[in-house]
Chains A and B, each alone.
Chain A
Amino acid sequence: MSNDDNPDSGKSRAVRARQRAIGRELRRIYDGVVNEPVPDEFLDLLRKMDDADGVGDRKKSS
C-alpha cells in the first residue's frame, strides 16, 4: 500500500511514463493545428484593417 507512494515503485514509474506520453500527445494535437496552413481569410481580414479601423462593425466615416 505504501508502495504506491514510493517514487521508485513500478506503479508510479508507469504512471509517470504514461503522463509523459499524454504530454507528448497533447503537444502533437496542438502543434497539428499550429502547423495547418493559415486560410487566406485571415490575411484578407488583416489587410482590410489597414484602411478601416473597425472592419465592418465600426465605420469611421462621419
Chain B
Amino acid sequence: MSRTELQPQPQEERETQPAPDFKTDLLALVPFLRAFARSLTGNYEAADDLVQETLVKAWQSRDTFEMGTNLKAWLFTILRNQFYSDRRRAWRQAPWDQDAAERMPGTSQDQNWAADLSDTARALKLLPDEQREALILVGAGGFSYMDAANIVKCNVGTVKSRVARARKALLAILERQDSLPSRQRPDEGEAARDIMAQLDELAPSRQSDAPARRRKGHAG
C-alpha cells in the first residue's frame, strides 16, 4: 500500500549511503527470511520477531554490506546469528525466568514450523539443528553449497555431508512412520502419493469432492 514511502528521500547528511533501493531490497527478501526463520524457530511468532530483529540489525550495519554480493545470503547469516545468540541468552535465563523460557525461540516448541501438518514437516523437527538448517538452505532455499557454507560458517564439504545426512535421516524417519501398524502404508517409495492423500484429507472440500471423483471413475 505505502510502498512508495519506502522510496528513499535524498539524505545528504550520510556520505556512505548504500544504494537507494537497499530498503526495497530488504522488503523483497522478507518472505524468504520468514521461511528460514520459521524453519529455525518452529514457531510463527518467534520467527517473525526474529525477522524484525534481523531487519534492524541489517539496517544498522548496512554500511558493511558489500554491494554486488549476495544480499539474501548476508541477511540469512544475520538472522541465523541472531537466532543462536537469542537462544543462548534464553537458556541462561531459563530456570527462573519462565516468561523468557516460554518466549524462547527453539525447535522444541510444540508448533509445526510451517503450520504444516505433513509428515515431512514433523520429521524435519526431529533432525539436529545443523542438519536441518543445511538441508533447508540447500534443499529448499536454493542456496549453493558455497553460499550455505558461508551462512553457517563451515566449509563446503561439511555442508555437503550435513545435507546428505539430513536427507538420509529424514528418509529413515518417514519410513519408520510408514511402518507403524496404525497407518495403512502398503509399499515404500510412495511419499508423493501419501502427501497427496494427506493434502486431500486436509482440504475442506474433500467430503463433497471425493464421491464426485469416484462417480466419474465409475462412469468412465
Partner of B140, one of A14, A15, A29, A41: A29
Inter-chain contact B139/A23, CB cutoff 8 Å: yes
Partner of B191, one of A18, A31, A47, A50: A18
Task: Tell me the interface secondary structure of chain A in the complex.
Answer: helix
Partner of B5, one of A19, A34, A47: A47
Q: CA A41 – CA B55 in complex, angstroms? A: 12
Inter-chain contact B135/A26, CB cutoff 8 Å: yes
Q: CA A30 – CA B9 in complex, angstroms? A: 35
Q: CA A27 – CA B2 in complex, angstroms? A: 31
Partner of A19, one of B3, B124, B140, B167: B167
Q: Is B23 an interface residue (CB 8 A)?
A: yes
In the complex with contacts A21-B195, A23-B139, A49-B35 CB distance below 8 A: no
Q: State the Cβ distance, B166 to closest chain A Cβ, in Å.
A: 10
Q: Is A43 an interface residue (CB 8 A)?
A: yes
Q: Is A46 an interface residue (CB 8 A)?
A: yes
Residues of chain B within 8 A (CB-CB) of A49 are 23, 55-56, 59
Residues of chain A within 8 A (CB-CB) of B129 are none
Residues of chain B within 8 A (CB-CB) of A32 are 114, 116
Q: Is B174 an interface residue (CB 8 A)?
A: yes
Number of A-B contacts (CB under 8 A): 114
* Residue contacts A-B, CB under 8 angstroms, 28 given: A18-B188, A18-B191, A19-B167, A21-B192, A21-B195, A22-B120, A29-B114, A30-B35, A30-B114, A30-B136, A30-B141, A32-B114, A33-B34, A36-B31, A38-B27, A38-B34, A42-B27, A42-B51, A42-B55, A43-B1, A43-B6, A43-B27, A45-B52, A47-B2, A49-B59, A50-B8, A54-B56, A58-B60
Q: Is A35 an interface residue (CB 8 A)?
A: yes
**Which residue numbers of B lie inside 8 Å of A, CB to CB?**
1-3, 5-6, 8-9, 23, 26-27, 30-32, 34-35, 38-39, 48, 51-52, 55-56, 59-60, 113-114, 116, 118, 120-121, 124, 135-136, 139-141, 167, 170-171, 174-175, 188-192, 195
> How many chain A residues have a CB neighbour from B under 8 Å?
36
